[in-house]
Amino acid sequence: DIQMTQSPSTLSAAVGDRVTITCRASQSISTWLAWYQQKPGNAPKLLIYEASSLESGVPSRFSGSGSGTEFTLTISSLQPDDFATYYCQHYNSYSQPFGPGTKVETK
Amino acid sequence: EVHLLESGGGLVKPGGSLRLSCAASGFTFTRNSMNWVRQAPGKGLEWVSSIDSTSNYIYYADSLKGRFTISRDNAHNSLYLHMNSLRAEDTAVYYCARDGPAVAMDYWGPGTLVTVSS
């Protein structure tokens, strides 16, 4: 089965910072990669699908890129509402694993 | 407005069984694949199972080893997860989630907590 990894596991940043999170797949997944944001006590929220497509209603400061085995989620200018945990996920397959998550915390 | 609401969680003893339900509304249920995802306390997200709109294609995480069964009732806009031989490590919040037009999980319920403990 395909395994997903993320780095870093924790990221300390300040409001206004540019933030980049990396997700890697153990084998090529084309662009079948989604990014989710989760805040404590809440369900995850879809941000990006097909590696780089922005979900409706998601601010344009979020962007995704990559294909094959390496992907990135970028927040161009971190806002107070963006402190959360971010997960990547391979989908559209018989197995749909999530990455272990990246917590974005206040510096 | 799309709405998903899980129910059926609670405290169960090791070795016991439980059936979770997810009531869907606000969209044409028969058009979407559905999923169960769980999250153990303080841990990350774990995909559990998926079912397509007609129940012809069903997938499970290998770690479940046949203990869980996903099903759906399109006539009642409902998704189910039957869980058997429950273990302490199955303790988690269980979410149901819809596959949207782009196939990624675009709507999620608030989750239901399952606690497996003696």
Structure token pair of residue A69:
């085995």
Residue B86's pLDDT is 98
Q: pLDDT tens digit string along A54-103?
A: 999 999 999 999 999 999 999 999 999 999 999 999 998 889 999 999 99
| Contact between chains at A94 and B59 (C-beta distance less than 8 A) | yes
Low-confidence residues of chain B, pLDDT below 70?
none
Residue A46 has pLDDT above 80, yes or no: yes
Question: For A55, which residue in chain B has the nearest alpha carbon?
Answer: B106
Contact B108 A1 (CB under 8 A): no
CA B22, B73, B5 angle in degrees (round to 5)?
Answer: 15
Strand segments, DSSP code E, in chain A are 4-7, 10-13, 19-25, 33-38, 45-49, 53-54, 62-67, 70-75, 85-90, 102-106
- Cα–Cα distance for residue pair A48/A37, rounded to 1 Å: 10
Q: What was the pLDDT predicted at A93?
A: 84
pLDDT score, position B103: 87
Q: B109: nearest CA in chain A?
A: A43
The pLDDT value given to residue A50: 97
Model pLDDT, residue A92: 86
Decide if B102 and A87 are in contact by the 8 Å CB cutoff: no
How far is it, in rounded angstroms, from Cα B99 to Cα A31? 16
Residue A100 contacts B where some CB pair is shorter than 8 Å: yes
Please tell me the predicted confidence (pLDDT) of residue B21: 98
Shortest CB distance from A43 goes to which of B61, B62, B108? B108
**For residues B109 and A74, what is the distance between their CA atoms, to the nearest angstrom?**
26
Count the neighbouring beta carbons within 10 Å of the beta carbon of residue B98.
22
Measured between beta carbons, the chain A residues lying within 8 angstroms of B45 are 36, 38, 44, 87, 89, 98, 101
What is the model's pLDDT at position B88? 97
pLDDT band for A1, please (50, 70, 90 cuts). Answer: confident
Helix, strand and coil percent figures for chain B, each rounded to 5: 10, 50, 40
Strands in A19-25's sheet, in edge-to-edge order, are A4-7, A19-25, A70-75, A62-67
